[in-house]
Amino acid sequence: MNQSENQQQQPGSVASPAPVPVAPVAKQDGTMRPPTNLSLADEIIILEQKVADSKMPNELKQKSLGMILRLQKMSTDGAFSREFEPISEYINWVTKIPFGKLSSDNLDLKNAQQSLDANHYGLQPVKDRILEYLAVLKLQTGGVNTTNNPAGQSDTTEMKKLQGSSSHAPILCFVGIQGVGKTTMAKSIATALGRQFVRVSLGGLGSVVELRGRSRGEIDAEPGQIIKSLIRTDVMNPLILLDEIDKVNSQTGLRADIMAALLEILDPEQNSAFMDKYIDYPINLSNAIFITTANNLGGISAALIDRLEIIRFGSYTDQDKINIAKSYLLPKVREATGLNEQQLSFADDVWPLVIRPLGFDAGVRQLERTLTDLARKVALMIVQGTTTGVQINEQNFRDFIPEQIGIVS
């Protein structure tokens, strides 16, 4: 059968033959990319298929199909529509939102306790709060996780059920100076729960559109960071870390707008219908867990603080640092540098000389850098063949740790 005969058999081809599907093109790395020689009619068909395959709510699906219908009417004139690019970009964004897709929570309290203890020393108030959340969730669900919503089902009923339920998803605010483990604790919580993790940095945030999105009528319109976080994790219930919430733009008007947007995002009574200006449809954020971090509470509005559960991370004592160095940092440094316990070890009496830098560091970042520098020196000696292993003790520790670092500097 030749091409003209095949075209005549295509249904619905009245004025012109139906577009022939064009196969995706293989990249050099083996992945597939969309073909670049598609006609306008072909691209409209692809947009229709994306909407049909999406599990978006019916109201949003009808809105998207209405936009595509407008493109179809314009395409009959045979001219490229100026509206095609923004509409196709909008369809691409909304079809990426994982409507109704939820990851399963690991509700095993013993597993959560072990996971948190394996990655963090102390910080028991934080661990207790997560275990309490898990216990409440387990009782609410009867030990059975919520399954994904069917395609096209509206979230309205679920929104009403969860509205104002602070117990459904705690909004924790970790407050403490740099290096005390706020961000790593958030990652460990996500791991313990079995949730996807995404970090949104608010340090120096200069405009509220970074959170709320930019209206489709504006240049370079796109969703805000909250919607992008859902798209990146491909679930509607990730753990979202809003980092450095106290360091947003210091201008009074901009700070007030950003704090108001954060209030809508974090407040359990509002975030079940969060409005991103680009998507222009209420998005249910109530299944997500939000954790915020701050060095202090001075830059956070009183209304927002009222919605947060403040958990303070205190400074580590010297004994805390010794325990952290032995149980957490040293194994991590050994693995990163390819050393084993026989190649790098420490005498017990040398730790007080290693853990305190010049001055007092409340966190453990400087301690980790010190151990990493030391491990690299040992690795170089082993590769050069001058030794097969080193034990750091009071007699030789200055050979590996610079003079300006340490308790006797």
Segment among 29-38, 102-111, 272-281, 343-352 with least mean pLDDT: 29-38
Residue 157 has pLDDT above 80, yes or no: no
Residue 239: its pLDDT value, please?
92
- 175 and 292: one domain? yes
DSSP state of 329: I
Cβ 236 vs Cβ 101: under 8 Å: yes
The confidence band for 15, taking pLDDT boundaries of 50, 70 and 90, is very low
The pLDDT tens digits for 111-145 are 888 888 887 887 787 788 878 877 887 787 665 44
Query: d(Cα 74, Cα 316) in Å, to the nearest integer?
Result: 66
Q: Is 237 strand, coil or helix? A: coil
Residue bearing the bigger pLDDT, 39 or 6: 39
Query: d(Cα 86, Cα 47) in Å, to the nearest integer?
Result: 12
- 38 and 18: one domain? yes
Asked whether residue 406 is assigned to any structural domain, the reply reads no
* Order of all β-strands in the sheet with 197-201: 197-201, 239-243, 289-294, 171-175, 309-312
Given the DSSP bridges, would you call strands 32-33 and 25-26 parallel, antiparallel or unpaired?
Answer: antiparallel
Cβ 283 vs Cβ 227: under 8 Å: yes
Name the domain boundary from 69, 96, 123. Answer: 96
Residue 248: its pLDDT value, please?
81
Asked whether residue 294 is assigned to any structural domain, the reply reads yes
Cβ 353 vs Cβ 396: under 8 Å: no
Amino acid at 283: I
The total number of structural domains in the chain stands at: 3
The confidence band for 227, taking pLDDT boundaries of 50, 70 and 90, is very high
- 222 and 348: one domain? no
The confidence band for 146, taking pLDDT boundaries of 50, 70 and 90, is very low
- 286 and 356: one domain? no
Q: Which domain holds residue 66?
A: 3-96
Phi and psi of 395, rounded to 5°? -80, -35
Mean pLDDT (the chain) is 77
- 49 and 88: one domain? yes
Cβ 191 vs Cβ 120: under 8 Å: no
The confidence band for 238, taking pLDDT boundaries of 50, 70 and 90, is very high
Q: What share of the chain has pLDDT > 70, as a percent?
A: 76
pTM tops 0.85: no
Residue 234: its pLDDT value, please?
92
- 291 and 392: one domain? no
Residue 160 has pLDDT above 60, yes or no: no
Query: d(Cα 224, Cα 213) in Å, to the nearest integer?
Result: 4
Residue 236: its pLDDT value, please?
92
CATH number of the domain that residue 262 is part of:
3.40.50.300
- 137 and 39: one domain? no
